Amino acid sequence: MRQIFPAAAEAPEIESVALGAPGAGHPVPAAVTALARLYAYPTVAARATPWVRANMIASVDGAAALNGRSGGLSGSADRLVFSVLRSLADVILVGAGTARAEKYRLARQGQIWTALREGRPPTPPIAVITRELDLDLDGPLLAEVADQARTILLTTQAAPAARRAAAATRADVILAGRDSVTPAAAVDALAARGHRKILVEGGPNLLRQITEAGRLDELCVTFSPVLEGGRAGRILAPPPADRTGEVGLALAHVLEDSGSLLCRYLRDPG
């Protein structure tokens, strides 16, 4: 993996690293340290709102998935950056549809670089926006035991009371709306719990809603060297007919690995 923008003669080649975080007392690989520096969150303590970063992957013709799952587009470089972004985040936010389609489970210590989480629990919790709590309560995201990374469910008063009670035995259930959970309500509820570095992993509808609400600060997107053929949706779901959905982004850096382009964009204040 190499940095191709901005051009930097002194930028070293970022070697591939096998996933599986080192145990306590072992040094973090130089590649992970380099990526953590490139993707470091801005200082968020003085901000009135938390920093919201989204991480997505797309084929070169814009598809958000291959054979129904985003993982079909991923490669070793993308998986390494994925692990670093998760390690840097306070919380990982997804929509219920993505949690189901991608078969989400708890973040595992073997996939997280704990040295990047000084002063925080070893793994970040997964937070799911789910209007009616229509998730598998016996699935790995909710049934697995996690002392320090209990799943967070952001739901509504419209969710059946019995369903809320059952979910609360396995996750932290937060009522964040009457009939729907808005992006602002979700982000603010997470910030109230001390989660100010928020990583959004999709899906396209959630990314669109967060973008339209003006809460997206940063987009990290990997362009996979694949032509999907136009059957899958885009990383940003089409906006309503009366909205353009346009948001200006400034390119921060580009990494290249085996034809994949890993780009980091910051929201353009202009």
Is the pLDDT at 234 greater than 80? The verdict is: yes
Place of tokens 């990047």: 116
Instruction: Kindly state whether residue 166 falls inside one of the protein's structural domains.
Output: yes
What is the structure's pLDDT at 270? 62
**CATH number (domain holding residue 86):** 3.40.430.10
pLDDT confidence of residue 23: 47
Whether residue 34 is contained in a domain is answered as no
In the predicted structure, residue 186 carries a pLDDT above the cut 60: yes
Q: Tell me, what's the pLDDT at 241?
A: 58
124-163, pLDDT tens digit by residue?
999 999 999 999 999 989 987 656 689 999 999 999 999 9
pLDDT tens sequence across 7-64: 865 655 777 665 555 544 457 888 999 999 999 998 866 778 899 999 999 999 988 8
pLDDT at 109: 84
Band the pLDDT of 237: cuts 50, 70, 90. confident
| Domain contains 23 | no
* 25 occurs within a structural domain: no
* pLDDT 10s digits, 193-224: 999 999 999 889 999 999 999 999 999 999 99
User: What number is the average pLDDT over the span 237-242?
Assistant: 66
Q: Which of 14, 135, 137 is nearest to 84 (CA)?
A: 14
pLDDT in tens, 162-175: 999 999 999 999 99
The reported pLDDT for the residue numbered 229 is: 85
pLDDT, tens digit, for every residue of 51-108? 999 999 999 998 888 887 787 898 999 999 999 999 999 999 999 999 998 899 999 8
20 lies in some domain: no
Which H or E run contains 58? strand 51-59
- Checking if the pLDDT of 110 tops 90, the result is no
247 inside domain: yes
**Residue 62, CA atoms < 13 Å, CB-side half-sphere:** 8
pLDDT attached to residue 20: 56
Tokens representing residue 222 in the block: 């990997």
| 203 upstream amide cis, omega within 30 of 0 | yes
Query: Stretch 238-267: mean pLDDT, rounded?
Result: 85
Which among 107, 156, 151, 150 is positioned nearest to 130, based on CA atoms? 156
The continuous run of DSSP H or E covering 198 comes out as strand 197-200
Residues spanned by the domain of 203: 47-267
The pLDDT of residue 233 = 86
pLDDT at 51: 96
pLDDT at residue 148 in the model: 65
Report yes or no on 117 lying in a domain: yes
Q: How many domains does the chain have?
A: 1
CA atoms within 13 A on the CB side of 199: 24
Read off the pLDDT band of 189 (50, 70, 90): very high
Predicted local confidence at residue 223, as pLDDT: 96
- DSSP 3-state helix, strand, coil percentages of the chain (rounded to 5)? 25, 20, 50
53, part of any domain = yes
